[in-house]
Amino acid sequence: MDGRPIGVFDSGLGGLTAVHALWRILPEEDLIYFGDTARVPYGGRSRETLLQYARQDVRFLRTFDLKAILIACGTVTTTSLPVLQAENDLPMVGVVEPACRRALSVTRKKRIGMIATQASVRSGAYEAALRRLDPEVEVICEPCPLFVPLVEAGRIRRGDVVIETVAREYLEPLRATGIDTLILGCTHYPLLTDIIGDIMGPEVTLVSAGEESAFELKRMLTAGDMRASGERQGTTAFYVSDRTEDFERIASTFLQEDLRCMARRIDIEQY
């Protein structure tokens, strides 16, 4: 048993898709969430910059006595996970492997689509993981660079012409390829599940990288006897690197919980 908190981080709101799942499947755990809202989006940045940001994010989280870190960010996982794991003496879970395993377990035609940030697509990490797990799988990867800024601006609802137009432009060609499974390889994208699902249609199964990483973390904590006591109710502390108000507003909508005045602002450049 280990009652210490779990650190979770992302460039902004995306990691909340993992938090949402963690609240459901590990309600007894304490979480420390960091969203690097001052520097979002990460997705168009270079590997060197991303590693520098990720190191600072981890350094901030490690000011707490944590038992594990969930890298709830596709971009950081695809570009920096092995380095971060080598540099840190605590368990770290990313989003790529868990999402790929789920996608392979649900695909019928072995024809899988993957959408993510430019940095993630460029890294080839999802493709490599899928092929390693099943050499016969066909993978089609597409970046959707406008999704993250639109999600951060709160444009996540059905009927919003801007997000629906952008989504159609990205996704209609992907739908035409005949994939039966689509990995939402950036953790921001599941905030657009309704919109993405409407365009892809019911025959395409959506896999949320954020949610799958939460399942993976649960498996890891259980296997290592590192779960908190099931008798308690966990708490979540939210930290961001810029204005708290916008984060709290959109996070409240997504998590269906009133998070007003719940987030604290930190200066990430100090770490």
> Which residues are near ligand DGL by CB under 6 A?
10-11, 14, 40-43, 73-75, 116-117, 120, 148, 186-188
Distance CA 177, CA 173 (A): 7
Active site residue 186: yes
Q: Which one, 141 or 186, has the nearer CB to ligand DGL?
A: 186
SS3 content of the chain, % helix, strand, coil (to 5): 45, 15, 35
Given 100, 141, 144, 186, which residue is catalytic? 186
Nearest approach, Cβ of residue 253 and ligand DGL (Å): 17
Q: Which is nearer to ligand DGL, 121 or 263 (CB)?
A: 121
No. of helices (H) and no. of strands (E), the chain? 11, 10
In order of 43, 80, 110, the CA distances from 76 in angstroms are: 9, 5, 26
How far apart (Å, rounded) are the C-alpha atoms in residues 176 and 173?
A: 5
Residue indicated by tokens 């708290």:
244
Burial 42-73 (b: 16+ CB within 10 A, else e): bbebeeeebbebbbbbbebbeeeebbbbbbbb
Q: How many CB atoms lie within 10 A of CB 172?
A: 11
Residue nearer to ligand DGL on the CB measure, 48 or 231? 48
Closest approach, Cβ 12 to ligand DGL, in A, equals: 6
Structure tokens at 112: 């899988």
Q: How far apart are CA 27 and CA 22, in angstroms?
A: 7
CB of 94 to ligand DGL, least distance (A): 10
Which one is catalytic: 73, 100, 141, 144?
73
Nearer to ligand DGL by C-beta: 191 or 226? 191
Of 73 and 125, CB closest to ligand DGL: 73
Task: Answer yes or no: 73 catalytic.
Answer: yes
Query: To the nearest whole angstrom, how small is the minimum distance from the Cβ of residue 120 to ligand DGL?
Result: 6
Q: How far is the CB of 3 from ligand DGL (least distance, A)?
A: 28
**β-bridge partners, 10:** 35
Pick the closest to residue 140 from 175, 169, 106 (CA basis).
Answer: 175
Q: Which residues form the catalytic set?
A: 73, 186
